[in-house]
Amino acid sequence: MDLLSRTDQELIHFYLSGNNTGLETLINRHKSKIYTSIFLLVKDTYLAEDLFQDTFIKVIKTLKNGKYNEEGKFLPWVMRIAHNLVIDYFRKEKRTPVITNYDGFDIFDVLHFYDESIEDQLLREQTHQDLRTMIQRLPDSQKEVLIMRHYGEMSFKDIAEATGVSINTALGRMRYAINNLKKMMEIKELSLNSQKLPTFLQ
């Protein structure tokens, strides 16, 4: 049985019928985006791993209890769970995320490029290092919306509900995030072919 070609919903049905590889395939399919989204908010590798595991523990419980009804929207649903766990963590810690420099998970591991020369690859890696730093400099509210939209593939309606703001506010934060990133890039004078950049900056 080729599970890789199955839809998320089919994999959920396989899992609920006793095929654990259905869940394993689901996790492998989405883990980069989900982990990346958590890590960009908490900026701590070990904490991100813990919250990632907690997210899927909650996913499994919800699936087994028959309470999952987000057909066709598995990733955005999991992203909402992950986001709520991150918010709960900071609420318990009574602190907000702090912008820091870090070494660790590369958020651009989820992007794939082909047919690159060594020169192109080196240039891309340097540019992504710069972009990582720039994303961390965004205000938390802007960074949160950007992460949910482009890594969690969430609609602005879902983002608005998850963050407790209006759709217009979520859209506005996204515009500000992209504009701020572009301004920072202009200051850095990054002259890269747009095909080497993430879609949201093209």
pLDDT at 21 over 60: yes
Asked if 107 and 135 count as a contact pair (C-beta separation under 8 A), the reply is yes
Q: CB within 8 A of 70, min separation 6: which ones?
A: 76, 77
pLDDT digits (tens, 9 = 90+) for 124-180: 566 666 776 788 888 888 888 888 887 777 888 888 888 888 999 999 999 898 888
Mean pLDDT of the chain: 76
Give the domain ranges of the chain: 3-197
Q: Which one is predicted more confidently, 202 or 47?
A: 47
pLDDT at 55 over 50: yes
pLDDT at 73 over 70: yes
pLDDT at 51 over 90: yes
Q: Which of 12-16, 167-171, 185-189 has the lowest mean pLDDT?
A: 185-189
pLDDT at 43 over 60: yes
Asked if 8 and 73 count as a contact pair (C-beta separation under 8 A), the reply is no
Share of the chain above pLDDT 90, in %: 9
pLDDT at 94: 62
pLDDT at 119 over 50: yes
**CA of 182: how far to CAs of 91, 117, 134, 171, in Å?**
32, 26, 10, 17
pLDDT at 192: 47
pLDDT at 46 over 70: yes
pLDDT at 6 over 60: yes
Q: What is the pTM of this model?
A: 0.62
pLDDT at 101 over 70: no
pLDDT at 191: 47
pLDDT at 116 over 60: no
Q: Which residue has the tokens 């802007």?
A: 142
Going by pLDDT thresholds of 50, 70 and 90, the confidence category of residue 107 is very low
pLDDT at 189 over 50: yes
Q: CA triplet 104, 173, 32: central angle to 5 degrees?
A: 30
